[in-house]
Amino acid sequence: MSNQKPQERTDPVDELDERMTDESAEPGMSYTIEYDDDTDSADAGADDTDTADSTDAEPEATPSADGAGTGDEEAAAAANTAAAALDEPDEEDSTDDVDDSVFRAYPMFSMRGVTVADAKTGEHIWNDLTMRCEAGTSYGVLVDAHNTRQHDTLVALMAGFAHPAEGSVMTKSTPLHDLTPLELRGHRIGVLLQQFALRGDLSAAANLEYAMDASNRNYLKPIAVRAQELLTRVGFAPRGDDNATQAERSRALVRTLGAVDRARVMVARAIATDPDIVLADEPTATLDEADAATILDLLRAQVHGESKQRTVIVVTTDPHVAGAMDETIDLTH
C-alpha cells in the first residue's frame, strides 16, 4: 500500500488566471480582442485558447487563489473601455469614414495640389493648383493673358499631354497618367485645340470619321451615318437641308470653310466618341462677337450628352468667355 499523498487538484480557471498575471509567463502569452466593423461578434484568443465568444459577453470576475481580485478588476475595466470605444468612434475613425465618402464622390475632373516646375530653371509654373469640375456643368477657367507658359502648361495637364511633378490630375477616381492616350483622348476627353484640332486636307465628315475610327470604339450606327448626325446636331448641316445637300456640304474640305463652320466641326469632332469631358482651349479666338456667342452656347449645351451628363471646360484669357459658362474658375490671382 502506497504512502504517497494524493496530489491536490487545481482549479483550471485559477490556473489560467495565475498564468495571465504571472510576470514569469512565457513572452508569447497574450490576450487580445479584435473588433470587425462588418460583423456582430469579435474573435478573442490567447495562443491556441479561446477566451471570449462574443463582444456582447462581459467577463466574469474570478477570485485568484490568494483572494486578490486586482487582475480581474483591471480586465473588466479594459473590456468596458473597449465596449465604449465601439459605441463612440474616435476622431481617426470619423476621418476614415469621411475619406471613404469622398472616395465615392469623386468629381468628373479634378486637379489636387498640382505643381509643375520649369525643367531648366526649376521655377514653378503652377504651384499647389487645385480645382474640381462636376458632371452636368460647364466651367470657364480664366488664366493670365500675359503668361502663355502657364496657359499652355495648364491645357497640356488637363488633356493628359503632360503630367505634374507633384499632385494629381484625375477623371473620377483615375489619374490621367494611368490611362493610355487612346483610353484618355479616344474615350474620356474630347479636346478642342486652336492648332491641330482638325485636318485641313479632309472634309468635315471625314474629320469626324477619322476620329471615331481611331478610337477603336464600337458604334450602334455606321460611323459615316453618325458623322452626318453630329454635323447636323452642331448646326453645320441645317436640319432643313435634304440629304443630298447635307452630304455635299459635309464633303467640303475643312481648309475651305469659314471660321464659325470650322468651330462647329471642332465641337462635333470633340463629342464624336461620346467623351465624359469636353476640353476647349480658346474656342472663340478667331470669331467675331456674334459667332463667339453661338459657339459658346453650343459648347455649354454639350453638358447634356446622348446618354450621360458631361463636364465642359473652356480655358481662356477672356473674362467674358469664362463668364459665359455655368461657373468660373479664376486662376489669375
Which of helix, strand or coil describes residue 43?
A: strand
Q: Which residue has the higher pLDDT, 105 or 201?
A: 201
- Which residue has 475643312 as its cell numbers? 254
Q: Which residue has the higher pLDDT, 175 or 102?
A: 175
Residue 192 in this model has a pLDDT that exceeds 60: yes
In which band, very low, low, confident or very high, does the pLDDT at 74 lie, cut at 50, 70 and 90?
low
Residue 89 in this model has a pLDDT that exceeds 60: no
Give the DSSP H/E element, type plus range, for residue 86: helix 70-87
Largest CA distance in the chain: 124
Residue 44 in this model has a pLDDT that exceeds 50: no
Q: Which residue has the higher pLDDT, 71 or 229?
A: 229
Residue 109 in this model has a pLDDT that exceeds 50: yes
Residue 320 in this model has a pLDDT that exceeds 80: yes
Highest mean pLDDT of the ranges 16-30, 50-64, 204-218: 204-218
Parallel, antiparallel or unpaired: strands 43-46 and 49-52: antiparallel
pLDDT for position 306 = 79
For 149-178, the DSSP string reads HHHHHHHHHHHTSS--SEEEEEETTEEGGG
In which band, very low, low, confident or very high, does the pLDDT at 78 lie, cut at 50, 70 and 90?
low
In which band, very low, low, confident or very high, does the pLDDT at 11 lie, cut at 50, 70 and 90?
low
CA distances from 326 to 133, 136, 224, 244 (A): 11, 10, 33, 38
What average pLDDT does this structure show over 107-134?
Answer: 94
In which band, very low, low, confident or very high, does the pLDDT at 156 lie, cut at 50, 70 and 90?
very high
Residue 222 in this model has a pLDDT that exceeds 70: yes
Which range, of 57-66, 113-122, 206-215, averages the lowest pLDDT? 57-66
Do 251 and 239 form a contact (C-beta atoms < 8 A)? no
- Which residue has 470633340 as its cell numbers? 270
Share of the chain above pLDDT 90, in %: 52
C-alpha 64/C-alpha 56 separation (Å) is 24
pLDDT for position 217 = 80
Mean pLDDT, the chain, whole residue set = 77
In which band, very low, low, confident or very high, does the pLDDT at 186 lie, cut at 50, 70 and 90?
confident
3-state helix, strand, coil in the chain (%, to 5): 40, 20, 40
In which band, very low, low, confident or very high, does the pLDDT at 102 lie, cut at 50, 70 and 90?
very low
Share of the chain above pLDDT 70, in %: 65
How is residue 194 written as a grid cell? 486652336
